[in-house]
Amino acid sequence: MDTVVILASGLSIILVAILWVQKKFDYWRKLGIPYEEPHFFYGNLKGVGQYDHDGLLTQKFYKKHKGKGPVVGVYFFLKPVAILLDINIIKDILIKDFPIFHDRGIFYNERDDPLSAHLVNLSGDKWKELRNKFSPTFSSGKMKMMFSTMLEVAVKLEKKIDQVCRSGKELDIKMLMALFTVDVIGSCAFGLKTNSLEDENNEFFHIGVSVFDKPRHGTRVMFVLHVFREYARKLRIKLFRDEVTKFYSSIVRRTIDYRLANNEERNDFMQLLIELHTKKGKDNLPFNDIVAQAFVFHIAGFETSSATLQFCFYELASNPDIQDKLRHHINEVLEKHDGKLTYEAVMDMKYLDQVINETLRKYPPFGLLFRETSQDYKIPGTDCILHKGTSLYIPIYAIHHDPEFYPNPSKFNPDNFSEEAVKNRHSFAFIPFGAGPRTCIGARFGATQVKIGVITALRRFKYTLSPRTKQPIKLLTKFFIAQPEGGIWLNITPIN
């Protein structure tokens, strides 16, 4: 009799659980919003972290449901998520209605994992205050001041390429550009001569790379943490490995102590952080906040820029006519500026802008933008209301590969960013780093170092694809930032 009772109780619990899950999966249908039929428990996350990059997953939903309504409802595990399909609604959410969508709804754990509480993840008033304090660091005036420092690193980059060229070996373009961007950020942000291009074994480089190559959690777990943020915080889950936190805390502490002891001031990001840290009263920035912001500047700055550079050189090697045209354009502009690589000369290279923008279109560093409603939101032109706390995903990768905006989107075509093409296209059809008040604060810095990287690597060298490069390119699934499976390998020859 007891066995029967136990079995009946167990079956009842299972039945209740099934009915509860089914009720959760009825959310979008009740709202009258088109939705993707979910699988039991994990919803529509099948493939993420296994065989689909997050940008490709949302592209499937975008292509299937575009035209059926302004959004399509999906489920990431049991949590309803709205994927935006209408580019005008996207513009409203990022610009006009930004006060309702100022937060990303990303997991971070400030108490146990201070590195996670950085500007990209933060929400509410703290994000707004820090954003206002840091914005002056990334002005065009500051870029000009940092330009000479970037050029010093570029000299080492050219020397490194020349060494590989003389050796006759294949070039691992990802590794090369990661070394370059780490050194640029080490100098411009921390005031450190990291010398990664001369010594690949330095700790600054390897710890930074390990954040992405050896993440604490895989892509699917990251989605779980975002979905169940409050539970994850109560369980005191961390995003980053302890050795990463220890390293960045140590290097920031040493830098601050050295500068204060020697009354040393520099025109870099660290100087701004130190000034905020030493202020009295409410404007004082605690040490953990200093570390978090220095960390994200380093990590986001070098990884997104090095990824853009490697994809750019993949396409230049695959399209020799574009490579030759760009090289000719660079040399032509430099002649107008007396052969000197100045900030003004770089800003004058319009075709270089087109090539880099086309790279960012085809390979946006992030496949998605995250937003969360802070109050109920009526979707313009409809009767549908997104309830407070609803997560919204803006499918950057899908928009950038939409033939409505880019004919033959799989083709690398810098003419997509000619003056006329840009003028005739919706302004929000190209948003590699977001838009509105929460657009990437370091986009100008990243663009400048990418341009210097392309100019330096292209002026004296020609590139072709090595057979070692896998074709066609497949994006790795374990990264949120786009990375090619197997890397990109190039052959180099000098140009006399």
Give the span between the Cα atoms of 398 and 393, in whole angstroms: 11
Contact 93, 101 (CB under 8 A): yes
Unique residue bearing structure tokens 């937003």: 371
- Cα torsion 423, 428, 430, 433 to 10°: value is 130
CATH superfamily to which 44-494 belongs: Cytochrome P450 (1.10.630.10)
Cα dist from 396 to 263, 307, 363, 429, whole Å: 45, 16, 10, 9
Nearest of 405, 456, 415, 395 to residue 147 by alpha carbon: 456
**Would you state the pLDDT for residue 280?**
82
Contact 136, 441 (CB under 8 A): no
Contact 450, 177 (CB under 8 A): no
**Would you state the pLDDT for residue 437?**
92
CB neighbour list of residue 2: distance below 8 Å, 6 or more residues apart: none
Q: What global pTM score does this model have?
A: 0.92
Task: For residue range 115-125, list pLDDT tens digits in order.
Answer: 999 898 899 88
Q: HSE, CB side, 13 Å, CA atoms: give it for residue 110.
A: 15
Question: What pLDDT band is residue 442 in, cutting at 50, 70 and 90?
Answer: confident
Task: For residue range 134-192, list pLDDT tens digits in order.
Answer: 887 777 787 888 888 899 999 999 999 999 999 999 999 999 999 999 999 988 888 88
Unique residue bearing structure tokens 């480089």: 205
Highest mean pLDDT among 108-117, 135-144, 400-409: 400-409
Task: Return the axis-axis angle of helices 124-134 and 269-278, rounded to nearest 10°.
Answer: 120
Nearest of 186, 201, 111 to residue 152 by alpha carbon: 186
**Would you state the pLDDT for residue 45?**
73
Q: Which two tokens stand for residue 145?
A: 């001041």
Give the span between the Cα atoms of 80 and 23, in whole angstroms: 12
Q: Which two tokens stand for residue 47?
A: 């493939």
Looking at residue 484, the DSSP 8-state letter turns out to be B
Distance of CA 356 to the CA centre of its chain: 15
Strand ranges, E, within 48-129: 71-76, 79-84
**Would you state the pLDDT for residue 51?**
47
Looking at residue 16, the DSSP 8-state letter turns out to be H
- Structural domain spans, the chain: 44-494
Question: What pLDDT band is residue 15 in, cutting at 50, 70 and 90?
Answer: low
**Would you state the pLDDT for residue 342?**
94
Nearest of 309, 267, 333 to residue 452 by alpha carbon: 309
Nearest of 277, 246, 243, 244 to residue 259 by alpha carbon: 277
Q: Which of 242-251, 279-288, 440-449, 457-466 has the lowest mean pLDDT?
A: 279-288
Neighbours of 421 (CB within 10 A): 16
Query: Any known ligand binding at 440?
Result: yes
Strand ranges, E, within 119-200: 171-172
Across residues 319-331, what is the average pLDDT?
97
